[in-house]
Amino acid sequence: MPLSEQEQRLLDEMERHLMQNDADVVSAPAGAQVLSYRNLIIGALVVLAGLGAVIAGIALWRTSLPLGLALGVAGFAAMLGGVILAVTPVKGSAPTPRSTGAGRGPRPARANSSFMDRINERWERRQNGDG
């Protein structure tokens, strides 16, 4: 059974709305910060070096308590610094918002009402026989 013209228009509008929402979901929020790949790699290497220092401090604990303690604390500080470095966003580089509505022309007059509200209104009109 083929769709009527009104049903086809409604389906097309729903598809456009879903495509627009999918693009909004995929694009990053305007206030999001970008992590640096370089900082992630360096941070991971610093964490591994700190872990090695902690293990070396534990190994030296029995032979030289002050040296093992100092090495363990320094290793822990290095691991903490590496994690902080890895998760710190790059300053001055926010993602550029993608234009999803370019070239689509003016918005409908009822742009302030939500998509679902408009669908519900149409459904009620259809059930009442208004067209």
What are the pLDDT digits (tens) for 79-126? 999 999 999 888 765 554 444 444 444 445 455 567 878 888 888 888
If one counts the domains in the chain, the total is 1
- Please report whether residue 62 resides in a domain: yes
Query: For residue 4, what pLDDT band results from cuts at 50, 70 and 90?
Result: confident
Contacts of 73-76 spanning 24+ positions with Cβ under 8 A: 74/50, 75/49, 75/50, 75/51, 76/50
**What whole-number distance in Å separates Cα of residue 124 and Cα of residue 56?**
73
**What whole-number distance in Å separates Cα of residue 43 and Cα of residue 82?**
4
Give the closest residue to 79 by CA, choosing from 40, 48, 53, 47.
47
> What range defines the domain where residue 54 resides?
34-89
- Please report whether residue 115 resides in a domain: no
Q: What is the pTM of this model?
A: 0.47
- Please report whether residue 82 resides in a domain: yes
- Please report whether residue 96 resides in a domain: no
Alpha-carbon 79 to chain mean position: 26
